[in-house]
Amino acid sequence: MDDKIRDDILAKRSLIPSWSIYLFLIIAVVGFGTFAYKISGSNPENAWEIFLINFLFWTGIAQAGIIFSCILRITNARWARPLLRISEGLSAFLPISFVLLLIVFAGKDYILPYATEHYHHPKDVWLNMTFVIARNVIGFIILLILSAFYLYYSLRQDLGGAGNKLGGFAGWIASGWSGEDERKAIWKKLGQFAPAVIIFYALVFSFFAWDLIMSLDPHWFSTLFGPYYFMGSFIAAIGTTIILSIMLRRRLGLEEYLDDHHYHDMGKILQGFSLFWVYLFFSQLLPIWYANMPEETGFVIKRIQEEPFQPLAWAVLTACFIFPFLALMPRTNKIVKPIVVFIAGVSLIGFWLDKFVLVAPSLSNTINIGITQILITLGFLGAFVMMFLLFIRAFPSIPVGDPFFGGKVKSGGH
């Protein structure tokens, strides 16, 4: 590991201005304050509905950031190594997500119909509230513990040996470093934790998909719905990584570490997984269509054929697949930073609308998007970005201790 590069990256942490963190903190306080005010009023259902939608969206992105890092490590991929730490930074929101999950279950009477209604057997066995809360909370705790160990070793690999230059949480992670032999041992541990994190991600987020989205409709079920949700979250995390890394690249002066080749490759990944997402979408839609069973078709018809949700359903398909797939075909659109940020931003909006279209029609017959919903959504956005900035301000933004990190970009390549 090049200590000069590490010192350079560590010095860049101070370029994250304090005012930006406080700004997003204020946005978060306003958003969650709006939520607290609305749920104490006479019509709390709309506030709870948008809270659930945002929980599913932002928590999915936060956990999938770790998953992207795990995949890079399992596959020994060198092409996106400099982006590994930024994707891990998305997970800084996860401690807040755990609290938000408890809040979701606190409002179960407003957003989980099976908490107050009797579903037919055997669904009522699976949807027993004690069982629902236990499996989701315990599963998420296990996933958070695995993710925390993975992130600890990933950071320690970079910070080891620099403890005398660090303070706070980073100093604690770097303390007691025993040299290069430990770095080799950490590499093996990361290889062990990464598959475990991915497996539990698929399991726990399938629980979220089944219990917090699919089961809002008593008659609909899909065996593919778990992968549909957690793969959508993974694509949204890729888009978020693209946007935040480009912003940090300029702010922190990371041009020597992140060049056009990285964003060209990230654009291809975003494009390819958008195609995989629409494959999962079609794989669910096709058997529902040819089986033509009322208990299944009702869920789809309400969203793709009936007002007011029909335009939103087409907007989701356009923003999540049609637009990014076509827009990312030219090479230029993958490497011109404002263009790729715009494409990734449209994709993110599409996946937020996807959660809205999946949840809202099961709880309401109207589209409830007003100032309350906007402020609560901004509150989640504020909390997410604030935690990400705190992470980047505390830890190196580039994985300088990773064996596959190639250092500064060479002229004409990386």
| Complete DSSP assignment for 232-289 | HHHHHHHHHHHHHHHHHHHHHT-TTT--HHHHHHHHHHHHHHHHHHHHHHHHHHHHHH
Q: Is residue 404 part of a domain?
A: no
Q: Which amino acid is at 292?
A: N
What pLDDT score was predicted for residue 292?
Answer: 74
Q: Is residue 403 part of a domain?
A: no
What pLDDT score was predicted for residue 1?
Answer: 64
Q: Of 218, 220, 222, which Cα lies nearest the Cα of 120?
A: 218
Q: Which amino acid is at 51?
A: F
Mind listing the pLDDT tens digit for each residue in 44-71? 999 999 999 999 999 999 999 999 999 9
Mind listing the pLDDT tens digit for each residue in 174-202? 988 888 889 889 999 999 999 999 999 99
State in Å, rounded, how far the first CA of the chain is from the last one: 17
Rounded to whole angstroms, what are the CA distances from 1 to 35, 110, 144, 161, 165? 47, 53, 29, 11, 16
Q: Is residue 409 part of a domain?
A: no
CA angle 192, 404, 385 (to 5 degrees): 80
Q: Is residue 410 part of a domain?
A: no
What pLDDT score was predicted for residue 410?
Answer: 64
> What letters, b where the CB count within 10 A reaches 16 and e where it falls short, cover 40-56?
eeeebebbbbbbbbbbb
Q: Report residues of the chain scoring pLDDT below 50.
A: 411-414
What pLDDT score was predicted for residue 82?
Answer: 93
Count Cβ atoms below 10 Å from residue 297 Cβ, excluding itself.
16
Q: Is residue 401 part of a domain?
A: no
Helices 310-317 and 337-363 sit at what angle, rounded to 10 degrees? 150
Question: Which residue segment(s) compose the domain that 283 sits in?
Answer: 3-394
- How far is Cα 61 from Cα 243, in angstroms, rounded to an integer? 13
Rounded to whole angstroms, what are the CA distances from 307 to 47, 217, 357? 22, 18, 12
Residues whose CB is less than 8 angstroms from the CB of residue 43 and which lie 6 or more positions away in sequence, other chains included: none
What pLDDT score was predicted for residue 58?
Answer: 98
What pLDDT score was predicted for residue 306?
Answer: 85
pTM value surpassing 0.85 = yes
- How far is Cα 114 from Cα 136, in angstroms, rounded to an integer? 15
* 3-class SS shares of the chain: helix, strand, coil, % to 5: 80, 0, 20
Q: Which amino acid is at 43?
A: N
Q: Is residue 71 part of a domain?
A: yes
DSSP 8-state secondary structure symbol assigned to residue 60: H
| CA atoms within 13 A of residue 323's CA, in its CB half-sphere | 19
> How many separate domains does the chain show?
1
| Complete DSSP assignment for 311-359 | HHHHHHHIIIIIHHHHHTSSHHHHHSHHHHHHHHHHHHHHHHHHHHHHH
Q: Is residue 254 part of a domain?
A: yes
What pLDDT score was predicted for residue 301?
Answer: 85
- How far is Cα 78 from Cα 97, in angstroms, rounded to an integer? 30
